[in-house]
Amino acid sequence: MGARVYDYAALGEPLEQPFVRRDLISVQDFSPEEIRSLFELTNIIKNRPADFRGALAGKQLVLFFEKASLRTHLTFEAGMASLGGTSFFMDQTRARLHEREPLRDIAHNVERWVDAVVLRTYEHQTIVEMAQHACIPVINALSDLEHPCQAFADFFTLQEKFGDLRQVRMAYFGDGNNVAHSLMLAAASLGSSLTLATPAGYAPNPEITAAALAIAATTGARLELTEDPWAAVSGADAIYTDVWTSMGQEDEAIERAAIFAPYQVNEALKSKAAPHAVFMHCLPAHREQEVTTGVIDSPCSVVFDQAENRMHVQKAILLLLLGSGVRRFPSRSNHA
């Protein structure tokens, strides 16, 4: 599949091609060429926000969140508003989305009222099922399997810092969780190098690992898994960690704290990375657990750059999925 060409100058003009629905459920839903095009559009949006103020005028977005959120919630709402659209937040933290009625019924309702759905859920299958039944774009804002919007913002941040992502080496420490999964797939797609250091029994999902390795074989990316944090950090350009206990795993917190202690990103570990290395975290961070205060508050930390770029990347995603003059991706959803 060739690289996509977007007519940025035609924002607000009618499309020559009919609307074709696309979802963002997994990083894999965007080809390597499409991710690079996404970053090109993100860069333009970030540097010329005024050019896009009415790009999604009249468009409406609903956000269903089963988990608490600061960055994901606010960046989607602020981003949609800055594009001229409207968003509606549905707090599902007290009851899962499917508890009152079947997901297929919810999907067939919301597709008649709004233009896109953003879901932040526990079970990945919730997002997959919504995408199967809704005829409007569905965006994964975090599930137990992936966090694609976060990974895209992370690698866009690295591109800003270092330029050619094929020359960037990231080291990830901690749980082989949803964030790790999306980082693996994004690194593979973009030709980057990524080493994941996880304790025994906490390695990434084998199916995600296999998918990432298959992509890497076509892009020249390098992916490695290890249980040795010191081997992983050597010469890294970026050091990344996440919480040791995700939402829904609170009863494992004490056990995990002991298991993950050797994977804390502290000054000693950071000193083994490249001198120019940056520290990354998807936030919220538990200071003095997965990362020391000295590292996260140091000049090398780019955690707030990542947080800012969540909004810019998501604005680009919304534009590409909802259109308004930007040529949309062709249909290639794996979930229909």
Catalytic machinery residues: 120, 147, 150, 242, 282, 310
Query: Taking a C-beta distance cutoff of 8 angstroms, is the pair 330, 2 a contact?
Result: no
3-state secondary structure of 11: coil
Query: Taking a C-beta distance cutoff of 8 angstroms, is the pair 244, 260 a contact?
Result: yes
The rounded distance, in Å, linking the Cα atoms of 109 and 138 is 14
Cα 18 versus chain centre, distance: 28
Structure tokens at 256: 């995990």
Structure tokens at 247: 């939402």
CA dihedral for 253, 254, 256, 261, sign (positive or negative) = positive
Ramachandran bin of 325, using left for φ above 0, alpha for ψ from -120 to 50, beta for the remaining angles: left
Radius of gyration of the chain (CA): 19
Cross-strand pairs, 279: 239, 301
Query: Taking a C-beta distance cutoff of 8 angstroms, is the pair 125, 98 a contact?
Result: no
Distance between terminal CA atoms of the chain?
19
Query: How would you write 272-286 as a 3-class SS string?
Result: CCCCCCEEEECCCCC
Structure tokens at 13: 């003009």
Query: Taking a C-beta distance cutoff of 8 angstroms, is the pair 140, 24 a contact?
Result: yes
